[in-house]
Amino acid sequence: MNVAVGLARLGHAVQFLGRYGKDNFGQMASGHLADNSVLNPLPPDDSPTSTATALLDETGSATYTFELEWELDQLLERMPTLLQGSSLIHTGSIATMLQPGASTVLTAVEHARPTATISYDPNCRPTIITDAEYAREQAEKFVPLADVVKASDEDLHWLYPDRSVEESARAWLESGPAIVVVTRGGDAPWGLCKSGHSTAAIPEVEIVDTVGAGDSFMSALLAAIVDRELDGSGRRERLHQIGTGELRAILESAATAAAITVSRAGANPPSRSELRKHLSS
């Protein structure tokens, strides 16, 4: 949902395919999507809305506790109609790890890949999916199907403790994606493409909290790809030929969006005009 809202605020037509209940949290979620012009074609179901409760430490960094219900039978039933015409599909994190919904998501990605760019962010949650071997197996189902992959250095350390982050990122790139990006907390994000690697500086801001920073980075990364008309399976070859200079510009846009988000409370990604203003300053 955060990535969908981030993309919508950056000027793109987006739909959210996920589940939520008929309770107050579900009404908040559907209202938030509507307020940000995100299409939401799946109605609420009878289960409780999944929640993540954030606990902030003295630096503004968040840890989370979760209450989760993850089935997506409605998507399975209406998949051809709901995915028709989409030029980019993004998924990741708990959605691709927690069963039974994770299997539905994999089916959706396989269905969409012949026509759409696929984006994936493992965004590992070891407090929920505690088995690193299982999480690694799940990630390795999605990475070869993806054109764009974003992971944190913490994700890659946890999934592959016996090799460096750089080695893991290169192995993922070799398995199929056009771009693999690694975020490194307060350090500059680093990205790989077939022509080489790039980094981008993070603007200095006063941190309020880190909630939604990764999702804001992801949405701006994808928006920059769409803005360059590199989305859709018909442009897959062009995306795979991206150069390091263009990758650096994409990373700068994503890092700036994340910096704006951490400078204010909550998962509050920037608008297109805000991002442009910060990039030009």
Least confident range from 26-30, 61-65, 103-107, 117-121: namely: 61-65
pLDDT digits (tens, 9 = 90+) for 179-231: 999 999 888 999 999 999 999 988 889 899 888 899 999 999 999 999 999 99
Q: Residues 73-82: contacts with CB within 8 Å, 24+ apart?
A: 73/104, 74/19, 74/42, 74/43, 74/45, 75/17, 75/42, 75/104, 75/108, 76/104, 76/107, 78/41, 78/42, 79/107, 79/108, 79/111, 80/111, 82/15, 82/17, 82/41, 82/42
Say what the pTM is: 0.94
CATH value at residue 191: 3.40.1190.20
pLDDT of residue 218: 97
In the predicted model, what is the mean pLDDT of residues 230-236? 97
pLDDT digits (tens, 9 = 90+) for 124-173: 999 899 999 999 999 999 999 999 999 999 999 999 999 999 999 999 99
Q: How many domains does the chain have?
A: 1
Phi, psi of 164 (to 5 degrees): -75, 160
In the predicted model, what is the mean pLDDT of residues 222-241? 97
Query: Domain of 109?
Result: 2-280
pLDDT of residue 108: 97
Report helix, strand or coil for 161.
Answer: coil
pLDDT of residue 281: 76
pLDDT of residue 63: 81
